[in-house]
Structure 1
Amino acid sequence: MSLIVSGPINKRRIRRGLGILGDSFSANCHTIVPTAYGTEAYGYAGAIAAKTGLFPSYLDNQGKVGDHSGQFMARLPSCFTSLTADLWMLLSRTNDSTTAGMTLADSKANVMKAITAFQNTPGKYLIVGTGTPRFGTKALTGQALTDAIAYKDWVLTYVRQFVPVVNIWDGFTEDMTVEGLHPNILGADFISSRIVPIITASFDFPGIPLPTDATDIYSAIRPFGCLNPNPLMTGNTGVINASANPVAGSVLADNYKVSASGLTGITTRWYKEPSAYGEAQCIELGGTMAAAGGYLYLQLNSNITLANLLAGDVIEMVSAPEIVGNSRGILGWEAELIITKPVAGTSTTIYYRSMDKYQEPFTFPANWKGALETQRYTCDVTETVVTARMGLYLAAGIALDSRVKVGQIGVRKI
């Protein structure tokens, strides 16, 4: 049984942007506007971004809930005019199976139209997926199921002649879904594990611009340096608040602070260890959280200097997190760029995130590693606070035996 099938193409150089075309399977896999997320946020596009360095802008999410493949065609021009995404994914046509009067031949014709359009557009590339099985109340039966399997086989045998294709059908199970159809965080991890090797084998692109030296700090002579101090997280003079529940001897990186809430039943030990660049801030987690809603924030101890931001500057936060453990008790270990500014006369705090947390009971794999990049914010000099943090969200009722780590935290101009 083949899990990954790739078309015979040479490696292509692309920009560091990832786009998604399709229905709710696409729309809900990633950010749909800078500060709002689909139902199954974040999903497989966020996981792919974390593992490859590709950036999926909300502007390049061309998924629309309820659409069939014929309706995808109206959004093809947006794929080709995108200024950020060169690589696009069309992984599912699941609504074709439930659209009255729509046949397998219709699906094939629509997908081939999309493939041909990409082939005729220099510098734009497409990966096609098999779609996934459906379960429970969302399960297909009869001719609809027969057609879905036939479509999967057609992608793996015919479409692979023209574009890279990926098999996300075989091995996909009901416990990888939210409600029998859309992937939860385990499904997102499964899908990304199938797609990432195809991407890295077929395309060349620059990775996430993580800070790699201690002097990567914004100044007149390095105008694209990190706007925050200590991007490599060295030292141990940070501030750990009592609510973070640290055991004796806990240490925190210079220029960082911690806040927390709802940790009844949890114990934490904060420590440092060397990483590939600088040091990693590590948190050892134990115990069982008594009630839902507990979290920890590892945050910059001083806000970004507003004088260093001009109107029109585009900023983002990047970081390199990891989860190591034996327990699936973490809902999210996410990067957050935080903006406070007046909106309609009221001071409002806005969050630009990467790898947004799932709701209970969907949790991360026990072991996970990646590089995060938030959605991007355009400054207008009405900001009163610009800061950043890593948010650690824990599941209730699950015994924790985990360590989380993070390094290379940077807020910088694009």
Structure 2
Amino acid sequence: MTLLAEAQPTRRRIRRGLGLLGDSFSANCHTIDPKAFGTEAYGYAGAIAAKTGLFPSYLDNQGKVGDHSGQFIPRLPACLTSLTADLWMLLSRTNDSTTAGMTLADSKANVMKAITGFQNTPGKYLIVGTGTPRFGSKALTGQALADAIAYKDWVLSYVRQFVPVVNIWDGFTQAMTVDDLHPNIIGADFIQSKCVPVINANFEFFGVPLPTDAADIYSVIRPFGCLNANPLMLGTGGVINASTNPVAGSVLADNYKASGSGLTGITTRWYKEPSAFGEAQCIELAGTMAAAGGYIYCQPSANVTLANLLAGDVIEMVSAPEIIGNSRGILGWEAELIITKPVSSTSTTIYYRSMDKYQEPFTFPANWKGALETQRYTGDVTETVVTARMGLYLATGIAQDSRVKVAQFGIRKV
């Protein structure tokens, strides 16, 4: 019998911010522009956020297209001094493999410099990844391939002594890429499936601030309540536009409206069911969409009352969506905060999104569940319309056999 016990790792308490350091693999993993519609945002940071509640602000994306690890280092101080992100990820150094004169020793030295910087900064933490294989036109050969594999092995055997590491190499396939290198939506889901257990095992943080009671409405008494009515999506008094091709008996939550476009070949059935908090608005999809570009929007019927917004207020939209089905026919089921305001004297509509949709043919997994939080907008009192919606984007030529759900729909001040 022994009285010795193996020490259990301590989960570190961090803020909700998630930061990214690296190259295009990081830069395009959600967005480096809060209002961009990123049809080639490689998705894994958004997917991690949806599963953990970590918020990847565009301000904390220190990825830059084309950089090698030596070029990451000048951006390291911005990671260590961030006011919003405590946890950072450096998952890839793929451009080191294609940079003339750069050796494996160079890569190791640069990554260790980043690790040392985090270790010497209280309250800041780093996760290092193995990188992913490259395929087809982007494939590595010879010494470059040997070095990439050696780097992967070094991360898993040596780097793990200093920081949490994640193996995104093993199991990553060409079918998970958009261009033989960067992940498509399935690749993004694969990467989050590897990262999320490592994050949850090592860190504690607050989740997405989803509304949990029907009275969570903005007022002087509750100034951080939701700026929209009925955040728990109760009732069946909403209005469904005929453009969504609804079947008879379809119902929508009180104070919400639904519209669609380009849905030739698609029918929808709208119904309600109990959720963890309040009710879930459900949409059952059937048929096959005839042409690209079809979508369905579900949003509050009333815009945000502008008098409730002051200059400097920071707002976001949150929601709890789900996909249940047998076919991968959905390009996106995303949260969108929508701002209309004058830009250079021209009325302009700007979209702040979470989990941007992909271009054909990259589609969501047939079954997916998470919590979404859009990029944040700072008000300046020039806004003419503030609203939000869930956007459902469908793939062409795929027989739809899916149900999508959304609950806990909130627009709120941060």
Q: Shared topology, TM-score over 0.5? A: yes
Q: Is residue 27–residue 38 contact of structure 1 (8 Å, CA) maintained in 2?
A: no
Q: CA deviation at 1:10?
A: 1.9
Confirm or deny that 1:83 pairs with 2:83.
Answer: yes
Q: Is residue 263–residue 294 contact of structure 2 (8 Å, CA) maintained in 1?
A: yes
Q: CA deviation at 1:319?
A: 0.1
Q: Is residue 297–residue 392 contact of structure 2 (8 Å, CA) maintained in 1?
A: yes
Q: CA deviation at 1:201?
A: 0.8
Distance 1:339 1:30 in 2: 20
Distance 1:29 1:42 in 2: 4
- Would the alpha carbon gap of residues 35 and 159 (structure 1) be closer, same or farther in structure 2, given more than 3 Å must change? same
Confirm or deny that 1:368 pairs with 2:365.
Answer: no
Determine the structure 2 residue equivalent to 1:390: 390
Distance 1:38 1:311 in 2: 28
Distance 1:226 1:351 in 2: 19
Q: CA deviation at 1:286?
A: 0.6
Q: CA deviation at 1:365?
A: 0.2
Give the AA of the match of 1:117: G
Q: CA deviation at 1:39?
A: 5.8
Determine the structure 1 residue equivalent to 2:200: 200
Q: CA deviation at 1:40?
A: 2.4
Q: CA deviation at 1:42?
A: 4.9
Distance 2:343 2:127 in 1: 40
Determine the structure 2 residue equivalent to 1:291: 291
Confirm or deny that 1:102 pairs with 2:102.
Answer: yes
- Would the alpha carbon gap of residues 293 and 285 (structure 1) be closer, same or farther in structure 2, given more than 3 Å must change? same
Confirm or deny that 1:320 pairs with 2:344.
Answer: no
Determine the structure 1 residue equivalent to 2:149: 149
Distance 1:210 1:253 in 2: 17
Give the AA of the match of 1:363: T
- Would the alpha carbon gap of residues 38 and 72 (structure 1) be closer, same or farther in structure 2, given more than 3 Å must change? farther
Q: Secondary structure at the match of 1:390?
A: strand
Q: Is residue 42–residue 182 contact of structure 2 (8 Å, CA) maintained in 1?
A: no
Confirm or deny that 1:167 pairs with 2:167.
Answer: yes
Determine the structure 2 residue equivalent to 1:3: none
Distance 1:91 1:42 in 2: 13
Q: Is residue 32–residue 61 contact of structure 1 (8 Å, CA) maintained in 2?
A: yes
Give the AA of the match of 2:53: G
Distance 1:101 1:50 in 2: 39
Q: Secondary structure at the match of 1:76?
A: helix
Distance 1:234 1:263 in 2: 27
Determine the structure 1 residue equivalent to 2:3: none
Q: Is residue 257–residue 301 contact of structure 2 (8 Å, CA) maintained in 1?
A: yes
Determine the structure 1 residue equivalent to 2:120: 120
Distance 2:389 2:213 in 1: 20
Determine the structure 2 residue equivalent to 1:260: 260
Distance 1:8 1:395 in 2: 46
Percent of residue pairs bearing the same amino acid type: 86
Determine the structure 1 residue equivalent to 2:407: 407
- Would the alpha carbon gap of residues 259 and 316 (structure 1) be closer, same or farther in structure 2, given more than 3 Å must change? same
Confirm or deny that 1:241 pairs with 2:241.
Answer: yes
Distance 1:340 1:40 in 2: 24
Give the AA of the match of 2:397: G
- Would the alpha carbon gap of residues 38 and 237 (structure 1) be closer, same or farther in structure 2, given more than 3 Å must change? closer
Distance 2:22 2:8 in 1: 24
Distance 2:308 2:367 in 1: 38
Confirm or deny that 1:46 pairs with 2:46.
Answer: yes
Determine the structure 1 residue equivalent to 2:4: none
1:6-29 C-alpha deviation (Å, 9 max, x unpaired): x98421000000000000000010
Q: Is residue 42–residue 355 contact of structure 1 (8 Å, CA) maintained in 2?
A: no
Distance 2:81 2:36 in 1: 23
Give the AA of the match of 2:213: D
Determine the structure 2 residue equivalent to 1:4: none
Determine the structure 2 residue equivalent to 1:14: 14
List structure 1 segments (4+ residues) > 6 angstroms apart after TM superposition.
none
Determine the structure 2 residue equivalent to 1:310: 310
Q: Is residue 28–residue 39 contact of structure 1 (8 Å, CA) maintained in 2?
A: no
Determine the structure 1 residue equivalent to 2:215: 215
Q: Secondary structure at the match of 1:111?
A: helix
Q: Is residue 282–residue 403 contact of structure 1 (8 Å, CA) maintained in 2?
A: yes
Q: Is residue 19–residue 60 contact of structure 2 (8 Å, CA) maintained in 1?
A: yes
Distance 2:123 2:217 in 1: 34
Give the AA of the match of 2:191: I
Stretch moving more, 63-72 or 37-46: 37-46
Q: RMSD across aligned C-alpha pairs, in angstroms?
A: 1.0
Give the AA of the match of 1:274: P
Matches for 1:330-345 after TM superposition, within 5 Å: 330-345=330-345
Give the AA of the match of 1:257: K
Q: Secondary structure at the match of 2:366?
A: coil
Q: Is residue 324–residue 368 contact of structure 1 (8 Å, CA) maintained in 2?
A: yes
Stretch moving more, 41-50 or 282-291: 41-50
With normalisation by structure 1, the TM-score equals 0.98
Determine the structure 2 residue equivalent to 1:158: 158
Q: CA deviation at 1:81?
A: 1.2
Give the AA of the match of 1:212: T
Stretch moving more, 7-16 or 308-317: 7-16
1:298-346 C-alpha deviation (Å, 9 max, x unpaired): 0110000001000000000000000000010000000000001111111
Give the AA of the match of 2:276: A
Q: Is residue 335–residue 353 contact of structure 2 (8 Å, CA) maintained in 1?
A: yes
Confirm or deny that 1:182 pairs with 2:182.
Answer: yes
Q: Secondary structure at the match of 1:254?
A: coil
Q: Is residue 298–residue 391 contact of structure 2 (8 Å, CA) maintained in 1?
A: yes
Distance 1:125 1:71 in 2: 20
Distance 1:387 1:357 in 2: 19
With normalisation by structure 2, the TM-score equals 0.98
1:349-389 C-alpha deviation (Å, 9 max, x unpaired): 11000001000000000000000000000000010100000
Q: Is residue 39–residue 359 contact of structure 2 (8 Å, CA) maintained in 1?
A: no
Q: Secondary structure at the match of 1:107?
A: helix
